[in-house]
Amino acid sequence: MIYITLPRFFLILLLWLALAACQPAPATPLPATPVPLPTATPLPPELAALLDRRESAIADIESIRSLYNREGYDPAELDRGLRSLVPTVQALDAALAAAGVQAPPYPLPPTPPLKMQATSYDLGLVSEDGVRLRATFYGPGQSDAPAVLLLHMWDGRRQDWAPFAAQLQAAGYGVLALDLRGHGESEGERDAAAMTQDAAVGVKLLRAREEIDGDRIFLIGASIGANVALTYAATDAGLRGVALLSPGEVYRGVSAPAALAGYGDRPLFIAASTEDTYAAASARDLAGDRSILLLLDGQGHGVQMLGKTNGLAEVLLAWLGDQ
């Protein structure tokens, strides 16, 4: 038999009550319908559009940065892209901040400076029909410069123009000397009719450059390059003028008279050597009222005429400057 005195009984009762109070309360059952979590207030459409534009510009910046030091990409053109995109992101950030929106942080690259050095370098182009071409660009060393695209002879290459290209560059012209398809370092078959596409991509590159005045672009071609230059120029009214060195009435199926009709009354310079009878006769036939016709004696064919001390290069430079 256990005897519990009254004070001891009350002490045990108090301990039991204290232990009962420490037990966890039964869980409250979840409601049948889930309570939605709080969501961020959606941005107004105009601010959401700014964020989308910012993300797109940043993606373009990253794409451009990945192309540096890869063959076939002109560093100057990549710089030009960054010079456009970096300020765009900065402006969008400012607009979003003014509206109280904090855009995700992104470390912008430095804006490349516009280089005005009169340097030259090789680059790659791709024609509209997918032919990979090589060219040399001679920088003018100044802004708002006129430009010249040089098209060589059959069996020639862009280096044939190097001395004259240097003269043009020294006179403040941007110059692009192109290896036509199937020549020099350019790929593709030697298709004279398709060479107008080579001229087209060359002109496109010149127009895209910041230092070039797109309204003052000239074509100079030699032999088949002359016929190609005139044929392409007939389809591009934005070209300022064309110079033909030893053109032919028809070279490898490319007709100069047919192109002349579409060329109109824009400035035209024609030169040939008298002993080069076919080119001389073609030059006479092509010359019109607004043309400059220069016939030389014993000076060879096409680009060869520029390598002589006959004043042709100086006359051609003066003609370009007058247009």
How far is it, in rounded angstroms, from Cα 202 to Cα 236?
A: 13
pLDDT tens sequence across 43-92? 788 878 888 889 999 999 999 988 887 877 778 778 878 887 888 888 78
pLDDT tens sequence across 109-163? 887 766 656 688 999 999 999 999 999 999 998 889 999 999 999 999 999 999 9
How far is it, in rounded angstroms, from Cα 80 to Cα 249?
A: 41
Mean pLDDT of the chain: 86
Note the pLDDT of residue 81. 83
Q: Which two tokens stand for residue 95?
A: 């607009």
What single letter denotes the amino acid at residue 185? E
Which superfamily does 120-322 belong to? Alpha/Beta hydrolase fold, catalytic domain (3.40.50.1820)
How far is it, in rounded angstroms, from Cα 319 to Cα 323?
A: 7
Question: Structural domain boundaries of the chain?
Answer: 45-98, 120-322
* Entry pTM: 0.68
Does residue 202 register a pLDDT over 60? yes
Question: What average pLDDT does this structure show over 97-114?
Answer: 81
3-state secondary structure the chain: CCCCCHHHHHHHHHHHHHHHHCCCCCCCCCCCCCCCCCCCCCCCHHHHHHHHHHHHHHHHHHHHHCCCCCCCCCHHHHHHHHHHHHHHHHHHHHHHHHCCCCCCCCCCCCCCCCCCCCCEEEEEEECCCCCEEEEEEECCCCCCEEEEEEECCCCCCHHHHHHHHHHHHHCCCEEEEECCCCCCCCCCCCCCCCHHHHHHHHHHHHHHCCCEEEEEEEEEEECHHHHHHHHHHCCCCCCCEEEEECCCCEECCEEHHHHHHHHCCCCEEEEEECCCHHHHHHHHHHCCCCEEEEEECCCCCHHHHHHCCCCHHHHHHHHHHHC
Does residue 164 register a pLDDT over 90? yes
Identify which of 204, 221, 202 has the alpha carbon closest to the alpha carbon of residue 153: 221
Q: Are 181 and 152 in contact (CB under 8 A)?
A: no
252-280 per-residue burial string, b: 16 or more CB within 10 A, e: under 16? eebebeebbeebeeebbbbbbbeebeebb
Identify which of 10, 105, 89 has the alpha carbon closest to the alpha carbon of residue 50: 89
How far is it, in rounded angstroms, from Cα 188 to Cα 219?
A: 22
